[in-house]
Amino acid sequence: MRLGIIGILLIAGSISQSVVAAESLKALVDSGRYQAAYELAMSQELEQAGEPQFDFLFGLSALEAGHPQLAVFALERVLVAVPQDHRARLELGRAYFVLGDYEKSRELFDKVLAAKPPQRVKDNVQLFMKELEQRSKLRDRQFSANAGLKFGHDSNINSATTLYSTTLPDSGLTLELPETSRELSDSFFEVDAAANYMQLLRKDMGYFLSASFNQHQNINHDGFDTSLLGLNGGYVYQAGGHSIRVPLQYQYLRVDSDFYRSSAGLGLEWGMSTQAGYQYMLFSQWAQQRHADAESLRDVDLGLFGLGVSRGLPATNLVFSLSAYSAREKPKQAAGEHFGRGYSGLRLGLGWSPRPEHQLQLSMTQQQVEHDAIHPLFAVIRDDDYAQVSLDWQWRYKPQWRFSFGASYSQNDSNIDIYTYKRSMQYLGCAYDF
């Protein structure tokens, strides 16, 4: 009997805490303190999720605080429990509207109107419906462009060794390395521009085109100046949390104003988003890399495959990402067999937005490379370990203006000493979005 009384008291205490929590949450929502309400709801989600009143208040506060995807999850739970709750259906329509899923948003608004709501609600829904029509037309055909400028310093513009000489193992001869084969530091500026176009053929399928250009100019060593043109276009499909992209890609690289390398290939990318906030992806690429005649021994066919996962934590404005990849570069000529290689690596990313206009991105890469054949001069198979860490900050000063700062450090350790190097880079930049 005593245990039964204790059980009843525990249940009653739990219900009392639940009621108090719901009342506190409702008070914050009613007073328009949506961010505070959202933070309180996040702290109670594990205990209260599935309770319609809590889920509605959680969804509404998440939507108003700028987290529409979480609002969708919460409000859909409300409609599963209470299908006739048209207020929740209205807010869910708003959440899909913010996410850009206009078809789903229109479907929900139509159901709200069919329920013959009060005139004030009806008028608000009609305003959303008009905006839906306008945004649907804009979404079906999208164009964006940007241009930017960067200034910075690079401690090793040619990714070269600090050695002045090296000894050949078979002959014992000592080779003096020319200046251009040793580490060179320099200041630089970059000009870049990009344009993107997408056309939807129907709500879940379309095609895209993009072009980009980058000019990297060193102040003192123009022999290592580069210009890179990129073209990209293909097919995109997105529905039910899944997406598929099939891009055709082309790059054309010039070094010191002369053609150095081109790359043409095909990609295949798949992604999936879950209600828990995870995003999964698989990606692959097949490409032909062709060099200028003097460097034609470097020609290879590339095959690459990778996978990744990312997770956003809205309560902290953090995004974690992790990806792994493996690639094979097969030489086109037997005499260039030592340029063939296989490599694999890991990338770790951490993004943080302390405020909507500020973004910080930390990324780390670790890569292992093993070449296919013995190096003709050094009589060993080249084996490299590469690592890079970078930190970038971006400030969106105005809707169309962005300022940025970045720093990176990379290191390559090789069993052939002339391929071992360290490199650091810092830059300041600004960009304009058209």
Question: Alpha-carbon distance 87 to 250, whole Å?
Answer: 50
- 126 is a domain residue: no
- 131 is a domain residue: no
- 134 is a domain residue: no
Do 197 and 236 reside in the same domain of the chain? yes
Do 28 and 176 reside in the same domain of the chain? no
Do 99 and 175 reside in the same domain of the chain? no
> How far is CA 234 from each of CA 199, 282, 405, rounded to the nearest angstrom?
11, 17, 32
Domain range enclosing 14: 2-117
Helix (H) or strand (E) holding 378, with range, is none
- 89 is a domain residue: yes
Do 180 and 325 reside in the same domain of the chain? yes
Count of domains for the chain? 2
Q: Which residues pair with 401 in a beta bridge?
A: 398, 432
Question: Are residues 90 and 111 in contact, defined by beta-carbon separation less than 8 angstroms?
Answer: no
Q: Could you say which of 101, 117, 133 is where a domain stops?
A: 117
| Cα angle value 328/330/332 (rounded, 5°) | 160
CATH number reported for the structural domain that contains residue 414 in this entry: 2.40.160.40
Helix (H) or strand (E) holding 340, with range, is none
Q: What is the CA radius of gyration of the chain?
A: 28
* Tens place of pLDDT per residue across the chain (434 aa): 444 544 443 344 444 455 556 677 888 888 888 898 888 888 888 888 888 889 999 999 999 988 898 899 999 999 999 998 988 999 998 898 888 788 888 889 888 888 888 888 888 888 888 887 777 666 677 889 999 999 999 999 999 999 999 999 888 899 999 999 999 999 999 999 999 999 988 878 999 999 999 999 999 999 999 999 999 999 999 887 899 999 999 999 999 999 999 999 999 999 998 877 889 999 999 999 999 999 999 999 999 999 999 998 877 889 999 999 999 999 999 999 999 999 999 999 999 999 889 999 999 999 999 999 999 999 999 999 999 999 999 999 988 999 999 999 999 999 999 999 999 999 999 999 99
Q: Please report the pLDDT score of residue 3 as a whole number.
A: 45
Question: Alpha-carbon distance 319 to 353, whole Å?
Answer: 9
State which amino acid sits at residue 36: A
Do 113 and 208 reside in the same domain of the chain? no
Do 275 and 355 reside in the same domain of the chain? yes
- 123 is a domain residue: no
CATH number reported for the structural domain that contains residue 97 in this entry: 1.25.40.10
Do 105 and 186 reside in the same domain of the chain? no
Q: Could you say which of 66, 99, 117 is where a domain stops?
A: 117
Count of CB atoms within 10 A of residue 336's CB?
A: 18
Q: Could you say which of 99, 117, 135 is where a domain stops?
A: 117
Question: Alpha-carbon distance 420 to 412, whole Å?
Answer: 5
Sequence-separated (6 or more) residues with CB below 8 Å from residue 73: 59, 275
Question: Alpha-carbon distance 269 to 236, whole Å?
Answer: 9
Question: Alpha-carbon distance 135 to 97, whole Å?
Answer: 10
Do 63 and 108 reside in the same domain of the chain? yes
Q: Which of 46-52's residues contact partners 24+ apart within 8 Å by CB, and which partners? A: 47/18, 48/18, 48/21, 48/22, 49/74, 49/77, 50/77, 50/81, 51/18, 51/22, 52/77, 52/78, 52/81, 52/82, 52/85, 52/88
Q: Which of 406-412's residues contact partners 24+ apart within 8 Å by CB, and which partners? A: 410/386, 411/386, 411/387, 412/159, 412/384, 412/385, 412/386
Do 39 and 164 reside in the same domain of the chain? no
- 356 is a domain residue: yes
Do 160 and 275 reside in the same domain of the chain? yes
> How far is CA 253 from each of CA 6, 230, 261, rounded to the nearest angstrom?
76, 9, 5
88 CB burial (10 A radius; 0-12, 13-18, 19+): buried
Do 409 and 263 reside in the same domain of the chain? yes
Q: Please report the pLDDT score of residue 20 as a whole number.
A: 56
Per DSSP, 15 falls in state: H
Q: Please report the pLDDT score of residue 9 as a whole number.
A: 38
Question: Alpha-carbon distance 69 to 355, whole Å?
Answer: 19
- 379 is a domain residue: yes
Do 357 and 252 reside in the same domain of the chain? yes
- 179 is a domain residue: yes
